[in-house]
Amino acid sequence: MLSAFGRAFRTPDLRRKLLFTLGIVTIFRLGAFIPAPGVSYNNVQQCLQLTQGNSSLQQMVNMFSGGALLQVSIFALGIMPYITASIIVQLLRVVIPRFQELYEEGASGQTKLTQYTRYLTIALGLLNATTLVSLARSGQLFQGCALPLIPDNSIITTILLIITLTAGTGLIMWMGELVTEKGIGNGMSLLIFTSIAAGFVPAMNGIIGAKGWGTFIAVLLVGLLTVALVVFVEQSQRRIPVQYAKRMVGRRTVGGTTTYIPIKVNMAGVIPVIFASSILYLPALIAQFNTPTDGRPVPDWVVWINNNLTKGDHPFYMAVYFLLIIFFTYFYVSITFNPEEVSDNMKKYGGFIPGIRAGRPTAEYLQYVLSRITLPGALYLGIVALIPLVALVLVQANQNFPFGGTSILIMVGVGLETVKQIDAQLQQRHYEGLLR
C-alpha cells in the first residue's frame, strides 16, 4: 500500500492532482476557524467550554461543517446547504416531469440540473445564515450560556454577517467542484469526509478524559468491528445476469455478450439517516416554539415531546428513529431505481435476464429482487445509526460519537470510492494499483 502511494506521488499528473486536492482541503479547514465578522471569538470559546448544542440535528450539521457551526466561522454552514439542495433536486424529479426529462437528456440536462442545484444552494445558504444569526443573537445556539456572541446589534453588522456566511457556502461549493474537476475523487464528498475526520481526535480524547483508557480501548475495538461491517456491506451486491442477443449492424455482428446488473445491499447510502434525523427534529422544534416564557404552565404534549423525542438515549426515540430509517430507505430506493426504466432499456438493446421474459416480467422480477435486498440494507442502516445513541447511554459520549451513524457511513464510502479512483489512475499507467 505504501509503495503504491509512493508510485502515485512519483507520477507527475497524479501527484499534481493529489497536491491540489490536499491544498483545497487545507483551505477548507482553515476557514472553519476564521471568525465571521461581528462575532465575539472569546465569548464563543467560553460558551463552547460551558455547553454544546442540544439538538441532534444541530450536532449533525456541526459535524458536516467540521465544527465550524459552533465556532460561528465564515464556513459555519459547511456543506449542508449543498447536500440539502442536491436531495431536493433529486426528489423533484419524481414531482416535476421537466426535471426527469432533463435527467434523461444526458450531459446537457445534467448541466442544467447542476445549475439549479447551485442556485438552490445559495438560497438555502441565505436562509440558514439568517437562522444561524437569529439563534446566535437569541442565545439558543448555546443553551445555558448568556454571553453575547454578536455584541453589535446594528443592521449593517447583521447584513454583513449573513452575506459572509452565504458567501462561505458558495465558496465551499466552488472548491468542491474544483476538486472534482482537477483533483482526485468527488470534491463534495471529500470535503464532508474531511469535516467528519476532523472531529475524530476530539471525540476520542473526550472518551479518554471521561471514562479512561479501558473504555477507550473498548470503543476502539467496537469501532474497528463497525468499520469492517460497513466495508463488507458497502461492497456487497446482488449481480443479476443479463445476456444480449446477437444482431447485425451493417456488416458487423454486435451483442452476444453477458454482463450483470449490480444491485447494492445499501443502495440508499446515508440519505435515510439524514432524513430520519431531520424529521425527528421537527417535534422538538415545535415544542420549543410552544414553550411558555411568561411563567405559565407547560402544556402536557410539550412535556411529553421533551421527555420522549428530544433525547437520543430514550427507548421511544431510538425505536422511532430506527423505523423512520427503514421507511426512508425503501422510499429513497423506490425513487432512485426504476425497474421499469431498466427493463425498457434492456429490451431496447436486445438484453434479457436468462429465464425471464423481456418487458413487464423483467420489471416485476427486478422489483422482487430489489424489495428483498433492501430489507437487510435498511436493517443495517438502522443498526449502524443507533450505535452513537447506544454509546450515549453506555459511555456517555455525545452525538458526535465517531464510530457509528452518519459519520462512519460517509467516511467508509468516500474512502473506498477515492481509493478506487487512485487505483484506476495507477492502473492506466500500467502500475499494480492500490487494490490487489
Write the pLDDT tens digit of every residue in 66-116. Answer: 666 777 788 888 888 888 888 888 888 878 888 888 887 877 888 888 899
Distance CA 374, CA 235 (A): 14
Q: Identify the band that residue 393 occupies on the pLDDT scale cut at 50, 70 and 90.
A: low
Same domain as 375, residue 235 = yes
For residue 176, the enclosing domain spans 1-183
Q: Identify the band that residue 41 occupies on the pLDDT scale cut at 50, 70 and 90.
A: confident
Same domain as 399, residue 278 = yes
**Residue 190 vs residue 60, higher pLDDT:** 190
**203 within a domain of the structure (yes/no):** no
Q: Identify the band that residue 166 occupies on the pLDDT scale cut at 50, 70 and 90.
A: very high
| Backbone phi and psi for residue 374, each to the nearest 5 degrees, phi listed first | -75, -30
Same domain as 217, residue 138 = no
- Provide the pLDDT for residue 67: 64
Of the given ranges (145-154, 222-231, 241-250, 314-323), which has the lowest mean pLDDT? 241-250
Same domain as 174, residue 38 = yes
Among 143, 168, 183, the domain-final residue is 183
For the chain, the C-alpha Rg in angstroms (whole number) is 24
Same domain as 218, residue 168 = no
Of the given ranges (36-40, 153-157, 202-206), which has the lowest mean pLDDT? 202-206
Residue % of the chain over a pLDDT of 90: 6
Q: Identify the band that residue 1 occupies on the pLDDT scale cut at 50, 70 and 90.
A: low
Among 183, 201, 236, the domain-final residue is 183
414 and 192 Cβ atoms separated by less than 8 Å: yes
Supply the pTM of this predicted model: 0.76
Q: Identify the band that residue 245 occupies on the pLDDT scale cut at 50, 70 and 90.
A: confident
183 and 66 Cβ atoms separated by less than 8 Å: no
**189 within a domain of the structure (yes/no):** no
**Residue 10 vs residue 241, higher pLDDT:** 241
Closest CA to 197 of 85, 302, 63: 63
Same domain as 42, residue 175 = yes
Same domain as 335, residue 214 = yes
Among 142, 168, 183, the domain-final residue is 183
Is 432 a residue whose pLDDT tops 90? no
Cell, residue 291:
414553550
| Backbone phi and psi for residue 269, each to the nearest 5 degrees, phi listed first | 65, -140
In this structure, what CATH number is given to the domain that contains residue 100?
1.10.3370.10
Same domain as 350, residue 228 = yes
**193 within a domain of the structure (yes/no):** no
Same domain as 292, residue 152 = no
**Residue 315 vs residue 67, higher pLDDT:** 315
Closest CA to 364 of 391, 386, 343, 378: 343
Same domain as 305, residue 221 = yes
- Provide the pLDDT for residue 62: 66
Same domain as 254, residue 143 = no
Closest CA to 166 of 139, 131, 194: 131
- Give the SS3 label for residue 96: coil
Q: Identify the band that residue 304 occupies on the pLDDT scale cut at 50, 70 and 90.
A: confident
**191 within a domain of the structure (yes/no):** no
**178 within a domain of the structure (yes/no):** yes
**320 within a domain of the structure (yes/no):** yes
Is 16 a residue whose pLDDT tops 80? yes
For all residues of the chain together, what is the average pLDDT? 80
Buried b / exposed e across 368-398, counting CB within 10 Å, b at 16+?
ebbeebbeebbebbbebbbbbbbbbeebebb
**204 within a domain of the structure (yes/no):** no
Same domain as 176, residue 229 = no
Closest CA to 190 of 332, 62, 64: 64
Angle at 70 between CA 123 and CA 19, to 5 degrees: 75
Closest CA to 18 of 179, 178, 194, 197: 179
- When divided into structural domains, the chain yields a total of 2
Alpha carbon distances (Å) from 168 to 165, 186, 363: 5, 19, 45
Residue % of the chain over a pLDDT of 70: 83
**403 within a domain of the structure (yes/no):** yes
